[in-house]
Structure 1
Amino acid sequence: MSLILQIETATTSCSVALARYGEVLDFKEINARNIHAEVITLYIDELLNNSGIQYSDIDAIAVSSGPGSYTGLRIGVSTAKGLCFALDKPLIAIETLEAMAFGVINNPGFFEDSNTLLCPMIDARRMEVYTALFDSEGIRVRETAADIIDENSFADYLKDKKIIFFGDGAEKCKSVLSHNPNARFLDDFVNSATYLTQKAAQKFADGAFEDVAYYEPYYLKDFIAGKKAL
């Protein structure tokens, strides 16, 4: 059996989901900045109550591990680890960009064809995004990186393939990439804990769990605190 509580807080989306045997039972989410700490535990309580499921029934906790918002990742991972300690359940970590790619692959309204590459983008600073490339089966073809996007970005890939750009970092890149006829943009993509489902079920079956005591989010870059304006 695999009843998994899934948590996504790496982006502006604060989302929780319950999945059994790789199928989503229910989810609750909101797409808003700086609200994650306020609602994450409330959403989990509501989700379990609405589903008639006890905390003790959960077999594992899966969390979106980053890269993404430093604060969001801290909130999500801290919540997941706290539940794992309290319930004595295993922790599963899914890279955020990979989960986003599976969200597109498994949504017929988003995906085009097998010759299309997927480019999830998470907003960083200015024209910088956290990004990677995946093929139509979710296999990584370009490693995760923090990239500054300009008109030449992804040029080698766009010669021969269409690329779907999506995520909260894609909108700011549209002006410099949309000149290429092979570039596509998903304007209505919102990240979700439901996108963790496929990889979480696979990792549970494989016993690919994290060390709860020592696990840290995948920040990719060091956190730099801004100075408060005087």
Structure 2
Amino acid sequence: MKNNKTILSIETSGEVCSVSFFNNENDLFELNFVRKNIHSEKIFDMIEFGRSNFGIQLPEIDSVAVSSGPGSFTGLRIGMTVAKSIAMGLNKPVIPVPTFDAFAFHLTKELPRNTKFAIVKKASINDFYYAKYLSDGNSYSVVDELQLILKEEVEKKAADADIVYADIYNLPEARKITAPTASHIAVWAREFGDKVTDYDYLEPFYLKKFIARVKK
């Protein structure tokens, strides 16, 4: 039997469909699939493949951590639904993990102390998710809270950051990112997460309102 603190973590907020079985950063199995619109098709197969290779039975996990957003509406719904379904079936808690904070916590481990960095991700054609953080070497503090900004505001908002991590190409000196992976979600969950057993109140954090477009 594996360590009874194993976290099954799920990240589906963007193009990366990622699953991890995680005890600690030296004992984990992670599987990533990068392709648009494959989350619902692949995620259960990925969980089973990861479980088998990690050598664990699903009832042995401690909890299910899931990226709660912001990000893709469809991706977040899929990830949260899968996490809640598995947790309910096993009577295990869910740990919702804020996507940007999980990625920021991961980045701070690679950055010098007092590095100010921004994370910018496309939300639609005209607006972006944005947050700014300060690394203290082991963790982070929030400089600018997560917010939705217009395309023309991006450069101004990120101007005083030492480093900008972004999924857009035309931002000067930006380091290209896609999304955090499931192991990043698990690390944040282990360090900061709250276990939730009242599944009915768990919903993704979209930040941006979803507006359905109808073809005329």
TM-score interval for Structure 1 and Structure 2 normalised by the shorter chain? 0.7 to 0.9
Q: Which amino acid is the alignment partner of residue 187 of structure 2? A: Q
CA distance in 2, matches of 1:203, 1:102: 10
Give the superposition deviation at 1:189.
Answer: 5.0
Alpha-carbon distance in 2 for matches of 1:15, 1:190? 10
Match of 1:181 in 2: none
Paired residue total = 209
Displacement of 1:188: 5.3
Partner of 2:149: 147
Aligned partner of 1:69 among 69, 72, 95: 72
In structure 2, what is the equivalent of residue 57 of structure 1?
Answer: 60
- For residues 116 and 197 of structure 2, the distance between their equivalents in structure 1, rounded to whole angstroms, comes to 29
Deviations 1:72-105 (A, max 9, x none): 0000000000001000000101101111112322
2: CA distance, partners of 1:101 / 1:139:
9
**Distance in 2 separating the partners of 1:140 and 1:54:** 38
Output the TM-score relative to the length of structure 1: 0.82
Residue identity over aligned pairs, in percent, reads 33
Q: Which amino acid aligns with 1:195?
A: H
Residue pair 1:93, 1:210 contacting (<8 A) in 2 also: no
- Measure the CA separation in 2 of the matches of 1:208 and 1:87: 14
Q: Match of 1:198?
A: 187
CA distance in 2, matches of 1:39, 1:77: 15
Give 1:198 deviation, angstroms: 2.3
Equivalent position amino acid for 2:104 in 1: A
Distance 1:162 1:17 in 2: 31
Superimposed CA distance per residue, residues 77-136 of structure 1 (whole angstroms, 9 cap, x where no aligned partner): 000000010000001011011111123223x4xx3x323222222221114111211111
Which residue is equivalent to 2:88? Answer: 85
Identify the residue that residue 119 of structure 1 maps to in structure 2.
118
Q: Secondary structure at the match of 2:18?
A: strand
- Contact 1:22/1:201 (CA < 8 Å) preserved in 2? no
Within 5 Å, give how 1:103-118 maps onto structure 2.
103-106=106-109, 108=110, 111=111, 113-118=112-117
Give the CA deviation at 1:138: 2.0
Instruction: Give me the CA root mean square deviation.
Output: 2.1
Aligned partner (choices 191, 202, 209) of residue 196 of structure 2: 209
Question: Structure 2 CA distance, aligned partners of 1:203 and 1:23?
Answer: 19
Moved more, 213-222 or 56-65: 213-222
Specify the SS of the correspondent of 1:197: helix
DSSP 3-state at the match of 1:141: strand
**Distance change >3 Å, CA 172–CA 129, structure 1 → 2:** farther
1:82–1:146 distance in 2 versus 1, CA, 3 Å: same
Quick check: 1:13–1:190 contact (8 Å CA) kept in 2?
A: yes
1:29-44 equivalence runs, <5 A:
29-44=32-47
Q: CA deviation at 1:57?
A: 0.7
For structure 2, the 5+ residue unaligned runs are none
TM-score (norm 2): 0.87
The match for 2:206 is: 219
Note if contact 2:163-2:175 (Cα within 8 Å) is conserved in structure 1. Answer: no
Change (3 A) 1:20 1:39: same
Cα offset for 1:69?
0.4
